[in-house]
Structure 1
Amino acid sequence: MGTVQEAGIRDWNFPRGVASVALMVGFAREHGVPAARMLQGSGLNEKQLANPDEQIDAHTELAVIRNLVRELGARPDLGLEVGRRYRITTFGIFGFACVSSPTLGEAISLALRYLELSFTFCIPAARWRPGEFMARIHDERVPADVRRFLVERDVTAMFQMLSDLMGHRVELLRADFDFEPPPDLRLYAEIYGLTPNFEAEHNVFTMDPAILERPLPQANEHTWAMCLAQCTELVSRRRARTGIAAEVRELLVPRGGLDGFAVPPGIDSVARDLNMSTRTLRRHLDAAGTSYRQLLDEVRRALAEEMLTATPLSVSDVAIRLGYAEASTFIHAFKRWTGTTPSAYRRGALTPSVR
């Protein structure tokens, strides 16, 4: 028997700051990719990346990630290279809360509880049992076209964060990845201190649970309490702003997934499902800083990108499945969202740049 702690969220689709996007744009710039190409189709500009209070939708970061993979995906260790750039300071108050925690185990529990203050797309779960601490990193809901990159990035970022907390590299007992091994394992060994297992059933890393009880070098009870209060307040503010929007988004996503044919429900239907009048729904969405049309565009864009990169559907079929009567109307909308056509987007996503 053991103790299991799940993350406070089940899915990667939560609002986040821009620090992660800024980090990836900086990495790409170092490797010859200008910021404009990295931000294409995201709706972001460089000025926004410098604003620590800027908040973005997860799909916005996902657009930047896809640009990065398209531009630099030929690099075999891209996810590892990017992941090792994430440090405690990248995570703001969330990172400071972890740093000031009494022990590594307390820091891990805190991180899982407030995971929506991170930038992860892969969702971790922790299990403590006699002689072993195991973290399983769930990637089932991560889009297939960027899944390997995000597993490598997110697991490496988590490991880097644990090592930063301890002040030295954390010693792992085992590391497993569910994808095939790269041609060269040296960077894996350099980062993790061991050679991982590949083509495993799950993404997992394990440690000796004894190190979880060790006091952290910068533990401070008063700072920890202050940071926890700020994390709680930040999560509450984000949830308050996104509560009704999240409910509407959920109703707009077709129940059949990518294989389902479903014309998105109109605002009147959504309002009835939420047991309110259309006027009241419009008012709530306006107070949340959004609208039915904006949320419908966000859902359609996310589904369109997924279908164009993960299925062989034609552009016309994608348009029909998204509820468009004409392919031309969908193409116009997609170009407004991303700055490019569906066909060009598909070619770019499936063909890494040769540099």
Structure 2
Amino acid sequence: MERRMIAPCFMDDTLECLRRHNVEIEPLLARVGLPPVISQPISAEQYGALWHAVAETMDDEFFGEGARPMRSGSFALLCHALLSTKTLEHALRRGLRFLRVVLDDPHGQLIVRNGLAEVILEDASPLRSAFAYRTFWIIVHGVNCWLVGRRLPIRWVDFKCSAPPDGTDYRLFFGAPVRFDQRESRLVFDADFLTLPVIRDNSALREFLRQAPANILVRYRHDEGLSAAVRGRLHMTVPSAWPSFETLAAGMRMQAPTLRRRLQSEGQTYRSIKDEMRRALAMEALLGGSRSVADLSADIGFSEPSAFHRAFHKWTGKSPASFRREAASRLDAQDRSPANSAGPQARHASNGKHCKIDHQI
């Protein structure tokens, strides 16, 4: 079985966090069998072992990044607290309340509007690291995916802080547009998923906790599993030339029913994968470019602009034009803000660089 790997830049973020909190790094790395300098990907299991070692050393499962320590055992208690919930929305709201009690800050609030579920982070601290916010999303979204037994595709992720040196890995990790230097930190997905039933029980939880957190780091990543292989093939050609499902299956040397069944086991269909990719391409172009909507609709594989309009409204609750106007208005408001000490040009350069999607899987 292929080992699931963690990129070196993810480790760099982790080690930089430990340095900020004056934790001796080399003894921890040696304790879990890792070298003092990490320049190659490590397995998810090795990272999970490091996470447990850090949590035990600091008595904090949030690596010192919260207003209060997330004491050892809090993650397990969170999972136990969610087993009795009925739907994803019930679990998400309860989980966010639990984390607020444990961490104080940052804490999340679920807002449902325009067909979207937005987990918006509130924080009394002026700014935390990208690592802190990503850790919060990993815990919340990873547990949610496990509870309903499928990956929940993300629309986009906003970070209030500036981008770390390896912002590309953030985009690849979430499989969606990622923007830094935003007014709020938020993670957005389709509100339809909130009605999914919680399917886990105590027996499943015991196995889940034995493998945590390695399992939530990679099991529900955008770039894991057979669906990632399908995306990789689609990325090799323009959307208008994407193959039929039967042609795709033949190219992957699989029977179409087998491919369909395996995708369903990952919570995906060929249509949902194409929709995710088209949506991401459309949002990227609307956020960072000036192409007409008619040209854009053809670029991403729609035969008529009207079909693109209908699809985009279904994805976001907005027309392409209004989505572009609102995005431009947010950027203008940030540029005019007195807190924007970097100036408008630096702000636009940062957003232009970091909302671009990395298509290399």
TM-score (norm 1): 0.41
Q: Which has the higher contact order (CA 8 A, sep 6+)?
A: 1
TM-score (norm 2): 0.41
